[in-house]
């Protein structure tokens, strides 16, 4: 009798992985002895009654309930996507409070980053190039919707403060008759004191697709498009 291998749909595997990561993050959160010190390290605000952490992520404020680790929008309303909840918890838990160095690096320069760069570029840089290379001025306009500001790199660049201590700079070069358009994402070299490589990858993919969705929606960031 031939044994058949049981496989799960990719979506189910992804949902399972996200659920596992979220539960592990909540367990790590519950083990933090000094929440107020961790708030100082991450740039978050602590409210003692009820025990809550207030943290900004991509120009919106979020509430982390303690000790259960539930993440909600400060403005109420929709459920926060699980992937965003995981990133918010990971940033808060892992933050070391290291001051910015001012030294910008690419994903390739992260520990082992060069090995995973092709996947990172496909999922993070490529969507930005696909949708903004023909209208690069829109990158700055749409980036401002996520709290970004103009940066002096390439032909067009915007720096988005994803978290208090995690700025992400997106750079576009228009290209010419000889070379096609190019893009790059830059980080302060201290980013590894706040996020793992996987978190940086997930964060940049999130930023890329939030920018694309805002572009398609005409730049509306009124809260209707939060995934």
A 10 A CB-CB count for 40 gives 12
Report pTM.
0.89
Decide if pLDDT at 84 tops 60: yes
Task: Please report the pLDDT score of residue 227 as a whole number.
Answer: 45
**189 CB contacts (<8 Å, ≥6 apart)?**
101, 103, 104, 105, 109
Task: Please report the pLDDT score of residue 224 as a whole number.
Answer: 41
DSSP per-residue codes, 44-94: -EEEETTEEEEEEETTEEEEEETTT--EEETT-SSPPPHHHHHHHHHHHHH
Of 2.60.120, 3.40.630, 3.40.50, 3.30.310, the CATH number of 104-216 is: 3.30.310
37-to-62, 70, 172, 222 alpha-carbon distances in Å: 19, 20, 38, 33
Q: What are 37's two structure tokens?
A: 């010190």
**198 CB contacts (<8 Å, ≥6 apart)?**
none
Task: Please report the pLDDT score of residue 149 as a whole number.
Answer: 97
Q: What are 97's two structure tokens?
A: 């409070």
Average pLDDT over residues 135-139: 93
Decide if pLDDT at 88 tops 80: yes
Decide if pLDDT at 194 tops 50: yes
Q: Which of 67, 76, 78 is nearest to 25 (CA)?
A: 67
Task: Please report the pLDDT score of residue 219 as a whole number.
Answer: 60
192 and 199 Cβ atoms separated by less than 8 Å? no
Domain segments of the chain as ranges: 10-94, 104-216
CA–CA dist 216, 10 (Å, integer): 26
83 and 202 Cβ atoms separated by less than 8 Å? yes
């Amino acid at each position: 009798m031939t044994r058949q291998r049981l496989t799960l749909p990719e979506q189910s595997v992804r949902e399972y992985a996200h659920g596992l990561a979220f539960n592990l993050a909540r367990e790590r959160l519950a083990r933090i002895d000094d929440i107020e010190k961790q708030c100082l390290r991450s740039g978050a605000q602590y409210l003692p009654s009820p025990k809550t952490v207030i943290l900004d992520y991509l120009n919106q404020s979020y509430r982390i309930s303690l000790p259960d680790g539930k993440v909600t929008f400060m403005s109420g309303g929709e459920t926060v996507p699980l992937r965003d909840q995981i990133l918010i918890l990971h940033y808060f838990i892992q933050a070391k409070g290291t001051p910015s160095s001012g030294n910008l690096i690419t994903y390739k320069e992260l520990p082992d980053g060069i090995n995973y760069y092709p996947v990172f570029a496909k999922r993070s840089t490529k969507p930005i190039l696909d949708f903004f290379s023909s209208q690069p001025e829109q990158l700055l306009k749409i980036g401002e919707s996520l709290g970004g500001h103009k940066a002096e790199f390439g032909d067009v660049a915007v720096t988005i403060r994803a978290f208090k201590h995690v700025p992400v700079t997106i750079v576009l070069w228009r290209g010419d008759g000889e070379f096609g358009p190019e893009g790059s994402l830059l980080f302060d070299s201290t980013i590894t004191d706040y996020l793992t490589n996987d978190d940086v990858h997930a964060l940049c993919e999130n930023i890329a697709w939030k920018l694309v969705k805002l572009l398609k929606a005409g730049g509306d960031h009124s809260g209707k498009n939060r995934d």
